[in-house]
Amino acid sequence: MGASVLIVGSGLSGLVLALALLRNGVSVRIIDKAPKFGVGQRGCGIQPRTLELYKILGILPQVLELARPVPIIHLHSSPEGNNPPKILDLNAAMENTPLYPCINPMILGQDRHEELIRSYLRQEYNCEVELATELVSFEQQATCIIAHLSHGGGTTETVVSDWLVGTDGAHSTVRKQLGLTFMGESRTSDSLVVGDVHVKGGLGDREHWPFWGNDFVRKVVSLRPFEIKDDDRYNFMMGGLDIDHDKVASSREELIKLFYEVSGRRDVEFGDLIWMGIWRPNIRMVDKFGKGRVFVAGDAAHVHPPAGGQGMNSGVQDSLNLAWKLALVQKNIAPVSILESYTQERMPVIAYMLNMTDGLIKSTMKEGGTGEGFSRDFNLRQLGVNYRGSTLVVDEKHTRRGEFIDPYRSGEDGTVRGGDRAPDAPGLVAVNDDSISTSLFEIFQFTCHTVLIFSDPKDDQSDILNISTSYPQGLVQSVVIYPQSTTPPSMLAVHRLADHVFADRDGFAYKNYNIVGSDATKVVVVRPDGYIGALISGADSLASYFGAIFLGQTMF
């Protein structure tokens, strides 16, 4: 069976990539060498930026139905300590705002998370993950990829695709055969025994996440309840320099023995072990995210400490960064050269993430540590991740010359720059029907660019709109936003050209995009992946920006 893109690996990065490509009309085939789907919580943290991107992708409501807030941590001294636990709210609940409508992290077991995306692939696109199907080797040609597959029954298959993407994990076959360098280090310290287990009783309520240990660097154990109500399954983590990790991971009995020793809680009754393994510090990233027609994403491109819940989220964002560009190239709408920006944009973000999460692990497990390193900075929510340094981004308002760019921080000071996350803005009222109120996140789509035109009604926006409407239908959508204090006329020529015309009733659009009243018409181009591709002021600049993205796609 042929497909435009062969995706190797069916973890979240691969599944999200498949869904994003299919949303854009690009055929995919997704394979996995495993004989069955994985079980367990594994990477369960979903950061707010990922939730926002799921909104654009069209799956957020279903994710929120399954997910729950991150439990509050209770740090217990053990086993002789009788003091009340230290309360630590890793991600203290914050109020959603017009700027950040999904500001709080959530947890959702990776197995349920993956099954949700698989259900979208199955129901909407009749796309099934092919298990027990292994990539043996591939050859890269000028115009295609020739891949050799092995099936569980012993049969082999040779397939031809236009592109190959490896989302096949830390031991990626695609990465190795592509010859990418996996830069970084492996350590024997800071290892953890992790897994899932049934707990029949003794822990009381399921609203908290208990840790036990007087010195986290020597011995620490924890049990976190699954996000499912009335479920008896818990995710466990056990670590420390004084623990024989291999021995603990050898059997359920050794696991329970260590738990009782460290916690002193022999009243906790364990049921069956679901799965168990050893996480060993392996902090690495590729030297580039692809060559030619082959790319890597997720754990195939970077491996990381579990601290901070960044890895899975970073993999999802890899996939969405690549997907819209690959879709445009595959449909002969964009030049192949835009794919170079995948490495350029994601490498600084991932390098920063690896350093940050490694620091979190070290501070949490430092000698004599009591858990203070658990504290979480706002930037872990990934709302400040940006691509300000990208050559694909245009910003006429701010110069980057000589400026330090922090790839994980933007927007906290109220500034908005090219490459930043595109903010939401509720309270947009349709000019011709004031009963219709919406927000920008309801309008953004993963299948097109969105041109936001901030303008006074007396100004003529037709030249800008003529550029936006000159492309084939579905490639660009235009949104005219009038200031809060104006009363736009109900009929203007621009209203017939624009896809949407709104009044900024509550003022959030102008505020969140930092458009001051004295500014002339301002244009913000939002990419399919929810980042600002351009901050510009007129039609010529808009034509120039799209000229670098699209291959002469105008209809005129």
Tell me: cis bond preceding 483? Omega within 30 of 0 counts.
no
Q: What is the distance between the alpha carbons of residues 142 and 211, in angstroms, rounded to a whole number? A: 54
Percent of the residues in the chain that have a pLDDT greater than 70, as a whole number: 93
DSSP 32: -
* Whole-number pLDDT of residue 99: 94
Farthest-apart Cα atoms in the chain, separation: 79
| Domain ranges for the chain | 5-69+105-183+283-381, 192-280, 394-549
pLDDT confidence tier of residue 88, bands split at 50, 70 and 90: confident
Q: Cβ of 21: how many Cβ atoms within 10 Å?
A: 28
* Whole-number pLDDT of residue 154: 87
User: Mean pLDDT score of the chain, rounded to an integer?
Assistant: 90
* Whole-number pLDDT of residue 402: 59
The answer to whether 161 and 29 have CB atoms below 8 angstroms apart is: yes
H/E run at residue 49: helix 48-57
* Whole-number pLDDT of residue 496: 83
pLDDT confidence tier of residue 555, bands split at 50, 70 and 90: very low
Residue 400 has pLDDT above 90, yes or no: no
Q: Cβ of 472: how many Cβ atoms within 10 Å?
A: 12
Helix (H, G, I), strand (E, B) or coil at 214: strand
Q: Half-sphere exposure (CA, 13 Å, Cβ side) for 45?
A: 21
* Whole-number pLDDT of residue 553: 56
Residue 401 has pLDDT above 70, yes or no: no
DSSP codes, 89-109:
-TT------SS-TT-S-EE--
Fold of 192-280: Alpha-Beta Plaits (3.30.70)
Looking at the structure, give the CATH architecture of the domain made up of residues 5-69+105-183+283-381. 3-Layer(bba) Sandwich (3.50)
* Whole-number pLDDT of residue 449: 98
Q: Using the Cα atoms of residue 444, residue 447, residue 107 and residue 317 in order, give the sign of their dihedral.
A: negative
What is the mean pLDDT of the segment spanning 278-285? 88
Residue 554 has pLDDT above 60, yes or no: no
Q: What is the distance between the alpha carbons of residues 119 and 58, in angstroms, rounded to a whole number? A: 13
* Whole-number pLDDT of residue 215: 73
Q: What is the distance between the alpha carbons of residues 186 and 504, in angstroms, rounded to a whole number? A: 52
3-state DSSP percent of the chain in helix, strand and coil, to 5: 30, 25, 45
The owner of tokens 């219709």 is 436
Q: What angle do CA 412, 93, 108 make, to 5 degrees?
A: 105
Q: What angle do CA 462, 463, 464 make, to 5 degrees?
A: 90
Q: Which of 218-232, 330-344, 542-556 has the lowest mean pLDDT?
A: 542-556
DSSP 13: H
Residue 366 has pLDDT above 70, yes or no: no
pLDDT confidence tier of residue 478, bands split at 50, 70 and 90: very high
Q: How far apart are the first and last CA of the chain?
A: 38
163-166 vs 182-186, strand pairing mode: unpaired
Strands (E), 152-246: 156-161, 163-166, 182-186, 192-201, 208-215, 219-225, 233-239
* CATH label, 394-549, candidates 3.40.630.30, 3.30.70.3420, 3.40.30.10, 3.10.350.10: 3.40.30.10
Q: What is the pTM of this model?
A: 0.94
* Whole-number pLDDT of residue 80: 60
* Whole-number pLDDT of residue 517: 64
Strands (E), 263-373: 269-279, 282-286, 290-291, 294-296, 302-303
Task: Tell me the pLDDT tens digit for each residue of 103-112.
Answer: 999 999 999 9
Q: What is the distance between the alpha carbons of residues 317 and 255, in angstroms, rounded to a whole number? A: 35
Helix (H, G, I), strand (E, B) or coil at 363: helix
What is the mean pLDDT of the segment spanning 519-544? 92
The answer to whether 276 and 255 have CB atoms below 8 angstroms apart is: yes
Size (the chain), residues: 556
* Whole-number pLDDT of residue 47: 95
Task: Tell me the pLDDT tens digit for each residue of 143-167.
Answer: 999 999 999 888 999 999 999 999 9
Instruction: Convert 138-174 into a string of H (helix), E (strand) and C (coil).
Output: EEECCCCEEEEEEECCCCEEEEEECEEEECCCCCCHH
Task: Tell me the pLDDT tens digit for each residue of 7-46.
Answer: 999 999 999 999 999 999 999 999 999 999 998 888 889 9
The owner of tokens 């980057």 is 400
Q: Does 5-69+105-183+283-381 match 394-549 in CATH topology?
A: no
Residue 79 has pLDDT above 60, yes or no: yes
Q: Using the Cα atoms of residue 85, residue 90, residue 91 and residue 94 in order, give the sign of their dihedral.
A: positive
282-286 vs 302-303, strand pairing mode: antiparallel
Q: Using alpha carbons only, how large is the chain's radius of gyration in Å?
A: 25
* Sheet with strand 145-151: strands edge to edge: 133-140, 145-151, 156-161
> 140: which strand partners?
145
* Whole-number pLDDT of residue 110: 93
pLDDT confidence tier of residue 556, bands split at 50, 70 and 90: very low
Q: Using the Cα atoms of residue 64, residue 66, residue 68 and residue 70 in order, give the sign of their dihedral.
A: negative
> 450: which strand partners?
477, 526
Residue 488 has pLDDT above 90, yes or no: no
Residue 539 has pLDDT above 90, yes or no: yes
Task: Tell me the pLDDT tens digit for each residue of 432-464.
Answer: 888 889 999 999 999 999 999 999 888 888 899
